[in-house]
Amino acid sequence: MDTNYEDLISIFAKTTDPEEMKKLFEEMLTPSERKDLVLRWNLMKDLYRGLPQREIAASYGISLCKITRGSKILKQKDSYCKRLLSDRYDDHLHI
């Protein structure tokens, strides 16, 4: 794998303070990139909750193609995203 990518992953993994992570994202990502990241996470949450893909697409004004990728990820047996969503939201009534 690309050592630059591995270096970046290591930096993110070592950043455990939420405020520092927020600052890192603000310094590294443009507002548009941060918006895209939040959109991706919201799509994953909606899919995890079982909302229909067409409803999600209409809600965010995006194509079904963007949603399909997230759906495939959540269907994988060893999906880390699915585990994160489960750990974070299964004990809560609202996502």
pLDDT at position 58 over 90: yes
Sketch the domain layout of the chain as residue ranges.
3-89
pTM: 0.82
Cα 8 from chain centre: 17
- Amino acid identity at 62: I
User: Is domain 3-89 annotated with CATH 1.10.1270.10?
Assistant: yes
Segment 69-92 shows an average pLDDT of 91
Share of the chain above pLDDT 70, in %: 94
Helix (H, G, I), strand (E, B) or coil at 91: coil
Mean model confidence pLDDT for the chain: 92
Q: What is the pLDDT of residues 32-44, one digit of tens each?
A: 999 999 999 999 9
Q: What is the pLDDT of residue 91?
A: 67
Helices (H), the chain: 3-14, 18-28, 31-49, 53-60, 64-75, 80-89
What's the sign of the alpha-carbon dihedral 33, 34, 38, 39?
negative
Q: What CA–CA distance (Å, rounded) separates 73 from 17?
A: 27
- How confident is the model at residue 1, as a pLDDT? 64
Using alpha carbons only, how large is the chain's radius of gyration in Å? Answer: 15
